[in-house]
Structure formats: structure tokens, C-alpha cells
Structure 1
């Protein structure tokens, strides 16, 4: 990563339009997007690129607020350009705008550092919302990808849960069902202190800081009903 690029970039300055780089190998589509975004007072298309190589070079030279990135470009594709940009600047804010709606493509883009992903079949309002959210440093996916995100999250949570011992798993489930430490101990013939010690270890393994976090994770993994 270039040392001149901060690892934590603030959102665009209030009152200044969001500077957007359009990266897509179809000139007509770029022209359409430029026309669309020109009607938004808080957005300004500051550059265009027709290949991954151009997108990467343009980003390094100008550091736009948001990159709207197609994935299927000739030469260096959008996925590789995405990865290179994020490697150069971990604070880069990239919104993928693609025809691909598969779980594999979404997971790959997000794992490389994209903050958002919108499929091209959506209304243009969804893309505009996505640009605004990504400019604020927030994650965003189009509505048609929500079910994919749920599966992705559940898979990640199941992977985390595999770290737990059988006893820790039992305590997690009982806690998510609403039992406090003393009640968990009674159900499992353990002392309250032992249960609390287990809970401390469970939180550390799962990367959560409180009981509410444990409950959310358990619900997301399908261990208990919400």
C-alpha cells in the first residue's frame, strides 16, 4: 500500500460532490451512467476507464471517492483491478456493478475488498443508493443479493462455531435461548463460575464482546429462532 494513502479515509467533505470513477468497457453504458449521475447534485463523475489497467492507473493518480467497477472487462478484468486497488489503498471504496449475481462472484469481490455490489438488472435508484452508502464507508448489496449474503454470513458463522468444544456449543445454545449463567449451570450440572469461564472463552473464539453478540451470531447461524 502506498504510504501516501491513509488506511482510514474519511467520508467526502459535506457540501462537496462524491467523486466517482466509472470503470466499464462499454462506452455507451458509461455515457448512460454519466448522464444519470449528472442529475444527482451530490455526485460528480470525475473519470472513466474502459479496462482494469486504466481503472487501476486512474485510481493511483487521482484517488476518487468511489469506484463503480464492472467485472467483465478485457485485459486486466475488474476483479483483478479491484484487488490491486485495495492492495494499493486499503481505504478504497469500490462498488461492483456487474451482470453477475452468483454467490461465487459476490464472495470473491467482497473478500478482495469491495464495499458494495449491485447487479445491473436493478433500478438505477439502487445504484445511486449504493454509491452514497459506499462513499460513507458502509457496505451495500442490491436487494436481489440479500439471500446470497444471508447464506454467506451463515457459512462464516458455521465456520466460527466449529472452533467450539461440545460443552461450549451447549452453553452457547442455552445462552442464546435466554438462559443466564446460573440456569445454564443447572441444566448442565456445572457451577455458575464454570459457565461464566466457558462464556468468556466462547466470546473470545467467536470475536464478540457481549451476550447480545452471542445471541445474534447464534440466530444468524440458525441455532435458535429469532
Structure 2
């Protein structure tokens, strides 16, 4: 049995919170030597196509909590645009096959590193993994990947015209993404879902009108005067 999500147009607040959490995750720990600055998310588009979940096992099902094992697949139209700065001459990193650049012309052939800005566009994500999914009305959503989910991602950058650099960047970014899916994405999903749960709990109270003031003696209507 499988089912799909309703995939709405996510709010501006959701995008803002998700971008902040992604920025923290992408800049955590050691970055590849070629990355010379922080990595910043400048565009996040969730797309119009939701992931699909195929039920493999249901461990718990109550009115307040659900726990199950699913096969998650995704081949949607979401994309992310990142910006950072890189050392344009990877000769300094001593990577395999990088000697092919020795015959190049211009700044990439320099022996000293040159830091330049770079934009990356990540799109055509393909994910396939077994996941443990827990949905709680009080605690939000917990999602754990049991296997490496990343099957494919297209990475376009400022250096697409130079095959060696493009291949090098693709490999490095894929490595960062695999680590993020394994270590950071479950926490990001959980924190975002907690904010959603909090909003759902607070909304009914915000919609209630505050009780009006209790009328005092001065606000009571005057008794009609009986003519003599």
C-alpha cells in the first residue's frame, strides 16, 4: 500500500525557517578545501511534486501517534540555489586528475589560489530509501533514513564549462549532501514540524474572542421612573 502527500504552497515563514536550518547544517564541521567561504542558501523551491511513501510495516497506530517503516521515493521538481566562494585553482588541493588543468589558460592555470564567487543550483533530486517515520500530535515528525537516500542530483555551477572542475564540484557537493541527509535532515524536519504543531495548538486559542468586561453598577441600564 502506498499513498502521497498533499503538497501545498509552503509559507514564507516555512521557507525562512528551512533556509536558516539548512545554512547551519551546510556550514557545520569541516568543508572541502576548495570551499573558501561559508555556504549560503539563496533560493529554496519545494516544487509541486510530493514524495511517495509505500507502507512496509506499521508498529504503532493511535489517535495521538503513528509509527511505521516506509519506502520513500522522490523524483520531483524541487531545487536549491547556493552561493559561496571557492579557490578557482584546485592545483593546490592535489586531487587526482587535476594535472589536466596544467595546460589551461587564464586564471585556472595559476599556481597560486584565486578565490572567486560561485553559485550552485541543485535540482532533479532522486531519492530512494527505507525510512522510519513517527508522527506525534504533541512532538511533531521524526524521520530517520535507514539507507542512503540520494540516488541522483544535478549540480550546475559557475564552472560548468570546465569538465574537470565540474566533476570535482559534483563529487564534493554530493558528499556533503549525503552527510546532511544522514545527520542533519532528520533534525531539520523534526524542528520544522514542532513549529507546525505549536501553531496548530495555539491557533484555536488565538481565534477565541476575549471575554468582555463585567458590567459594573454604573454601566447597568437605569430603572425606568414610575410617574406619580
Do Structure 1 and Structure 2 share a fold, with TM-score over 0.5?
no
Q: Which has the higher helix share?
A: 1
- Larger CA Rg, structure 1 vs 2: 2
Higher relative contact order (CA 8 A, sep 6+): 2
TM-score, with length taken from structure 2: 0.21
TM-score, with length taken from structure 1: 0.22
Q: Which has the higher strand share?
A: 2
